[in-house]
């Protein structure tokens, strides 16, 4: 590999002649957590012991006076100087990409020597928040697959995993104080197939949830990869699964966990007892997730009243009183005046950014038109489950974000139509590769990106085992014939 193969694109590259070979004598050292990560993952792929050493071949140093990281590779040593541990981890990801694609396998497959090209790389990210939202409520994503998703985010230098844990179609977080949330709320009797004009359903019960221990493991594993896990508990809409478990949270009679896609009319009743219930839930959430931000949704609330806005604000204030910030989708700005600490997730329109800025709120850019990765990738008739806007790889890469009061960017992976890890891979990649470069790199070139992706980065995804959408269209086994979508 060479420096022109890197993704996302680095800020500055200086080429030099020569190679640094990796062999039985290669050692690592410096910042302990990053050295351990490199030994574990690159050591597994290469079969090399990569022992820790006081004077290592590959060294990770921390220097808070620099911006980002500097990587210097000579025939004798690879020296990383990084602003902080996260920056050192980004440099470790760069080192892995400078090796052949087989460096992304979990075990060695040949005895051919590997080496690093010599030169200098200086790099730092364009935005501090480079996130990806994963909806585990519509279709449950097993813990092992969430951990794998963390690996893939880290590979692309993303640093936030937004877990959408609750919705009308399922409640995915164990709350010991309220066991019915998972006993009843975590599964539904059937699921809608596609999104045709005439609803169709399967006959397969669907469900699952994360135990306290599962979530602690996910948070810990993400932290090793310098990724913050932001949990979302959606209120006061998108709450039918909670109402199914505890009917007193809603209005009207008992209801089942919803088996359709879209927006349910069953929303939370704006009562003091509802506020108390979700304060308890949020206390448990905050005990598991050290994230400085807790998302409370606030989107798509049919029939909302000022009392629903007051409910949302009380819960936001509860989170803020615990020293955290809240985030909410931009719909919430129409529901209630948001506290200044709340981050607005701008998904609907560009005006949401200016409205939030005028109100004193920070913004995350999550535009549906560019960053919703469940939307169809082509207008070809064989594109599986063609829902939403046409959102091609090129469209994701072309997005030009404003910067005023913008904390960063976030891609969204909604899973109504993504009912398996293979379907999540297909929808997410390679569009998330384009998103990662938009979020990280200040200078971009579409043709050059496409070359790097096709010739260098997709082979890495192959080696890692990602079932991405090929650039020229789906493989036969990725098709979903007979499953209708609803293109817009």
What are the two backbone dihedrals, phi and then psi, of residue 42, each rounded to the nearest 5 degrees? -75, -35
- Looking up tokens 């096709």 gives 454
306 torsion bin: left (phi>0), alpha (psi -120 to 50), beta (else): alpha
Active-site residue, selected from the candidate residues 72, 224, 300, 341: 300
Distance of CA 456 to the CA centre of its chain: 23
Distance CA 137, CA 371 (A): 19
300 is catalytic: yes
Active site residues: 300
């Amino acid at each position: 590999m060479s420096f022109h193969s890197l993704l996302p694109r680095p800020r500055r590259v200086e080429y030099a002649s020569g190679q640094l070979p990796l062999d039985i004598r290669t050692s690592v050292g410096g910042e302990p957590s990053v050295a351990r990560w490199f030994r574990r993952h690159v050591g597994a792929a290469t079969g090399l012991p990569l022992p820790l050493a006081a004077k290592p071949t590959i060294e990770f140093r921390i220097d808070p006076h620099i911006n980002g990281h500097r990587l210097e590779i000579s025939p004798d040593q690879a020296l990383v100087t990084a602003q902080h541990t996260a920056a050192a981890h980004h440099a470790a990801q760069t080192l892995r990409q400078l090796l052949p694609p087989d460096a992304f396998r979990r075990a060695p497959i040949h005895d051919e020597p590997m080496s690093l090209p010599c030169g200098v790389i200086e790099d730092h990210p364009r935005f501090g928040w480079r996130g990806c939202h994963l909806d585990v409520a519509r279709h449950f994503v097993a813990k092992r697959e969430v951990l794998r998703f963390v690996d893939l985010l880290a590979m692309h230098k993303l640093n936030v995993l937004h877990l959408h844990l609750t919705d009308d179609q399922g409640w995915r977080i164990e709350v010991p104080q309220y066991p019915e949330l998972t006993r009843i709320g975590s599964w539904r009797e059937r699921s809608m197939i596609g999104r045709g004009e005439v609803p169709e359903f399967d006959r397969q019960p669907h469900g699952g949830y994360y135990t306290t221990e599962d979530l602690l493991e996910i948070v810990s594993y993400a932290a090793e990869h310098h990724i913050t896990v932001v949990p979302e508990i959606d209120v006061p809409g998108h709450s039918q699964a909670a109402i199914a478990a505890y009917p007193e949270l809603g209005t009207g009679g008992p209801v089942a966990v919803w088996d359709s896609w879209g927006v349910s009319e069953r929303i939370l009743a704006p009562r003091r007892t509802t506020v108390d219930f979700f304060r308890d839930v949020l206390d448990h959430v905050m005990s598991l997730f050290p994230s400085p931000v807790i998302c409370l949704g606030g989107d798509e609330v049919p029939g909302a009243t000022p009392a629903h806005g007051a409910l949302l604000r009380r819960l936001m204030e509860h989170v803020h009183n615990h020293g955290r910030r809240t985030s909410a989708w931009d719909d919430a700005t129409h529901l209630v005046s948001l506290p200044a600490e709340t981050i607005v997730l701008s998904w609907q329109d560009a005006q949401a950014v200016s409205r939030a800025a005028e109100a004193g709120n920070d913004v995350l850019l999550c535009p549906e038109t560019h960053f919703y990765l469940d939307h169809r990738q082509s207008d070809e008739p064989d594109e599986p489950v063609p829902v939403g806007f046409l959102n091609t790889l090129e469209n994701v890469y072309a997005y030009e974000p404003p910067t005023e009061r913008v904390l960063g960017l976030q891609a969204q992976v909604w899973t109504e139509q993504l009912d398996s890890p293979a379907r999540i891979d297909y929808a997410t990649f390679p569009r998330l590769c384009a998103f990662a470069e938009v979020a990280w790199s200040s200078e971009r070139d579409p043709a050059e990106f496409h070359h790097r992706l096709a010739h260098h980065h997709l082979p890495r995804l192959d080696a890692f085992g990602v079932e991405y959408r090929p650039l020229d269209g789906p493989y036969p086994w990725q098709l979903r014939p007979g499953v209708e979508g609803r293109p817009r």
